[in-house]
Structure 1
Amino acid sequence: MTAIFVIPLSLAALRMSPLDLSRLPEQAALLSAMVNMPEGSIELLESRFRDRLDQEYRTQGEESEVEPYISDWPDEENPDLEPPPASSQPSPSVNEEEEPVVTDPSPAKDPPPEIPEEYRGTLLQENMAGTAKNLLRYGAGKLRNYTDEPDSEIVEIMEQGMNLTLERTDAPQVLIFHTHATESYEPYDSETYDTRNTWRDTDNHKNMVAVGNALEQVLSDAGIGVVHDTTQHDYPSYNGSYERSAETIKSYLEKYPTIKIALDVHRDAIQRESDLIVKPVVEINGRKAAQLMIITGCEDGTMGVPEWRQNLRFAASLQDAVEQDYPQLTRPIFFCYRKYNMDLTTGSLLLEIGSNANTLDESIYSAELIGNSLAKLLLANMEQAEE
């Protein structure tokens, strides 16, 4: 805990002479990501992303850092944190178009819970569908390029369209699992929150397993074979979560060679200040839905994901399908130099459904909507292949 917070801020202080308060959030975010990289490669991250922090992105309230996972479980070792690289700004989008109006959702509906003032934080809800001009486009979807891959090449890959075709079989073709199953949500749709909340829960009725259940049900109802693994890979120890989930994926691929898609369902965490967290939310059919952020990785020679282009095509196709059905339900795709077990299939994606500031109800609703769009996409692509 001390290393996570004190070291980045100390390094930031040392590097700022004189102190530049306007850049403190940027520097802290960059240095925190460097310190927590599992590979421990501060020099690599500095050289790759030096002077590329996206101020517009942060001032618009669209931070998209993967949950820092401050574990409330007892661990003797340091957590194997998996944050993405610090924000970098892509070059202008190849396909510029007029942005739709992004409106914030209606006010919180639940009365504030009784929280002692010293533990009371601010919860800010925002529509984070993305309005920056430097977003890359495919259909109705958007992507933020946090890599050195040329924007034109990324767009060209996305425009190749859907890369997966399901078969007419009752066997499982979709695997849903949770590297961090114990992630949980806020208990209230409120403007305040309890700063003592860890947003972790081993009760599968209250954590990511419940969200995965909703996604599984929709796909199954559509006639798509699904297997949902409910293993809590992050409990009792957070250490090695991705290694353990990798073994789980491999075991299912061996048991069911028909599996083509592996979805790792998480939730994000967006903390702008020490006592301010953000809820990405949009209203769909008069009901609040937690916004989805798809994460897909890229290869830089060290990731070991040679088929990353196939995952990117799937990510772009899925987001386009969701956005066509439910405009502004998604945040821009997070395209970065990360692995997240995406080397194991060509249909591997990490889905961040909401953040710790969303409610479980909002996230389950989103999973149902996402499932509707995914099922329609997969079935339409299968029928097209059969023609």
Structure 2
Amino acid sequence: MQFNLVTKDAASKARAGAITTDHGTIETPIFMPVGTVATVKGVHQRELEQDINPDIILGNTYHLYLRPQTEILEKAGGLHKFMNWDRNILTDSGGYQVYSLSANRKIKEEGVKFKSHIDGSFHMFTPERVMEIQRSIGADIIMAFDECTPYPCDYNYAKRSMHMTHRWLDRCIDHLAKTPVKYGYDQAFFPIVQGSTYKDLRKQSAEYIANSGAVGNAIGGLSVGEPAEEMYAMTEIVTDILPEDKPRYLMGVGTPINILENIALGVDMFDCVMPTRNGRNGTLFTQHGTINIKNKKWEDDFSPLDPDGTTWVDTAYSKAYVRHLFSVNEILGRQIGTIHNLGFYMWLVREARKHIIAGDFYTWKEKMVKQMDKRL
């Protein structure tokens, strides 16, 4: 993997760059649609490629390990071939699922024993096993196994967890060196900064991760319930330390405003279930604010869903029609909402890139944050 820093914004830490892997170029800043179980929920690959058009999507090690299982993925020739996707894929290692399964897992130095949310069977994730699973999945960018701490989190727990995440990182690196790729193309490895919302821990973790020498770095443990101001403060501490010549990935973030503010802090890569989950529930993001399409006010509004939108659904359907689909629980409504939101998120990061290159990102960002912070 190669990263080329194209330009930086003069009034903020925003950057425009390009990541090149064996599956193509990723122009940054970038948003990665979440395809947890080998699909971006409710979206055909043709719509994903032609209408939403991301350079990279995300899959999840925990979910793919359970279903369809690595044996099936290996027989298919890896996740790309299994889901018929020839662009980039990043896999999250499962650390967030360890966090979300707090009632059904036990964390030890060796790794994490957890109970499947599907059938209650017990499984063990160690740093070594997670590296092997991600080799079998075959994503272009793979993540270190870490522990994502909750919010709020006791300082001593956050400190112990951070040090264990660092030890797990060393084990991931050692084992990955012994585990060959399976499908004939390289896999880039990203470690993850932890430390909850404690400045000294974030600084210490960022320094440890920066010294690991990886080709890219991630920031984890945010967007777990902390105030946005805390997220931005922790991100700024970390991006001041992580190498400038390597991509920075803020995991699980976030709202359109969160994304713009973190781009301004020097983050290059994002993922979040928000555009797909909210789209399925009738919440639509636009550059002028957020629409709850289920509201009665749209019942007889026959204007386009989003006249400024970039996907075909934005002008093909009216607000009244899409509201009707949600009111009768028609699956098409959820599909339209998903495609619209993903298209908007892709427009947002690509527009941010244009303004970074043009040199007026900060002014544009401030205007967009005010526009989007409205309920329509």
TM-score calculated relative to the size of structure 2: 0.25
Indicate the structure with greater helix content: 2
Q: Which has the higher contact order (CA 8 A, sep 6+)?
A: 1
